[in-house]
Amino acid sequence: MVEVSSTSSKVFTGGSVSVAYGFESAFKTLDSSGINKSFGLNTKVTSLTLNTSQVSLNKLGQVEPTKFVFGQQSGSLGISFVYDDIQAHKVFRCLYELPSASVQSGSTFNYPASLGENTTAAGTPASLNARVQIQRGAGIITRNLKGCIVNSIGISTSIGEVVNGTMDMMFAEESTADIEAASGTISAQTSIDSAAMKPYTFAHGKVKMTTGSGSGMVEVFDIQDIDITFTPNTELLYGLGSHYAQNAFRKVFDIGGRFKTTFKDGALLQYVIDQSIKTLETETVPEGTGATGQSGVGLELTFTNGSKKLEIQLGGVSLVDHSSSGLEPNEVLFEEVNFKAKSSFIKVTV
């Protein structure tokens, strides 16, 4: 039976919390490496919710419910972090790989193998097992979240900022018989991952697009802010005989973002106008060869930290809309575009 504490109230802060994860070799099955990974620098649990789909049963002759029953269990987990130059990129595996695929290692990581149509992750997506711990005096509360699948991963930065990341996940099962132990110590973040991680920042970032006159790519200067969101539209799959999801599947991979820059010419606006007055050959911006050697790149976002790199290349980029600001005395003229992409390729060098 659950008993609410009758002792004097205590206040706990984030200084009492630890969060980590490990990949699963099969859905809801933690791989042999265990929980040994950090999401990145400055990790925060922005949301954590558990739901049991409660249903009220009513009875003739009264207005009060007579019984509660429970359906499928579902949970959601939100994480924010700062992209570092060693570990944070590993979450991209959940966008492009299957659980059965070998976890990449070494100094170069590719997500996926190449830019373009990607069918390798069309089945059950790679999932992870997350652990959230809370130090409660001498005791410890441990929440083990099995079958975490990614709804979206975001990357963003702006003038004066680090490169921020977000992850929105669902999880399939939390079934620990007793989450609270009378004694124990949370795992310190440095013991989970002792790597000397350094953050990526806006000061070492570049955005490139093609001019349309050749295959080369040129830098878009004076970028004020940029964000990209990868949404695999993953869902949990339930079956008869269990409260918990038994598998997961993904739908259409949605890639979108936006950036704001100083106004230089009419090129970006013209692409949006041409969508209405020309045929479909103008549905995407011109494409070229990116820094990684991939062809068909419409937009490239790169962050560096010495020899370490995070390179994101998007193919089939189409501008969704265009907005202007600063059209008044003594103000800087800016333009902002939202875009969609058909495919993506991420290369990480550590």
Residue 136: how many other CB atoms lie within 10 Å: 17
Q: Read off the tokens for 26.
A: 């099969």
With a cut of 70, say whether residue 199 has pLDDT above it: yes
Is the model more confident about 234 or about 118? 234
Helices (H), the chain: 93-96, 189-192, 267-277
Q: Coil, strand, or helix at residue 132?
A: strand
pLDDT at residue 203 in the model: 96
CA-CA distance, 104 to 242, in Å (whole number)? 33
Residues forming beta bridges with residue 110, ordered by sequence position = 347
Domain ranges, ordered by start, for the chain: 15-56+68-349
pTM metric for this prediction: 0.93
Q: CA-based diameter of the chain, in Å?
A: 78
Q: What is the pLDDT of residue 116?
A: 77
Residue found by looking up tokens 């925060």 in the block: 44
For 82-86, 189-193, 262-266, which range has the lowest pLDDT when averaged over its residues? 189-193
User: What is the rounded average pLDDT of the residues 237-258?
Assistant: 95
Return d(Cα 111, Cα 312) in angstroms, integer: 9
Q: How far apart are CA 151 and CA 134, in angstroms?
A: 25
Q: Please choose, from the candidates 342, 336, 340, 343, the residue with its C-alpha nearest in 3D space to the C-alpha of residue 268.
A: 336
Q: How confident is the model at residue 318 (pLDDT cuts 50, 70, 90)?
A: very high
* pLDDT tens digits, one per residue of 14-48: 999 999 999 999 999 999 999 999 999 999 999 99
The average pLDDT across 215-219 equals 82
Give yes or no for a contact between 258 and 227, defined as CB atoms under 8 angstroms apart.
Answer: yes
Mapping DSSP to helix (H, G, I), strand (E, B) and coil, where does residue 229 land?
strand
Mean per-residue pLDDT, 269-294: 84
Distance separating alpha carbons of residues 258 and 127, to the nearest angstrom: 28
Mean pLDDT value across the chain: 92
| AA letter at 225 | D
Whether 4 shows a pLDDT value over 70: the answer reads no
- pLDDT exceeds cutoff 80 at 194: no
Say yes or no to pLDDT of 307 above 60: yes
Position 1 scores a pLDDT of 59
SS3 325: strand
Predicted confidence band of residue 124 (pLDDT cuts 50, 70, 90) = confident
Using the structure block, give the residue that is written with the tokens 């550590």.
350
Distance separating alpha carbons of residues 180 and 182, to the nearest angstrom: 7
Two tokens, residue 184: 């124990």
pLDDT tens for each residue of 135-163:
998 999 999 999 999 999 999 999 999 99
Which residue, chain included where needed, has tokens 């991939």? 294
Q: Is 198 helix (H, G, I), strand (E, B) or coil?
A: coil
The C-alpha atoms of residue 42 and residue 232 are separated, in whole angstroms, by 25
Residue 92 pLDDT > 80: yes
- Given this model, what pLDDT does residue 151 score? 96
pLDDT at 277: 85
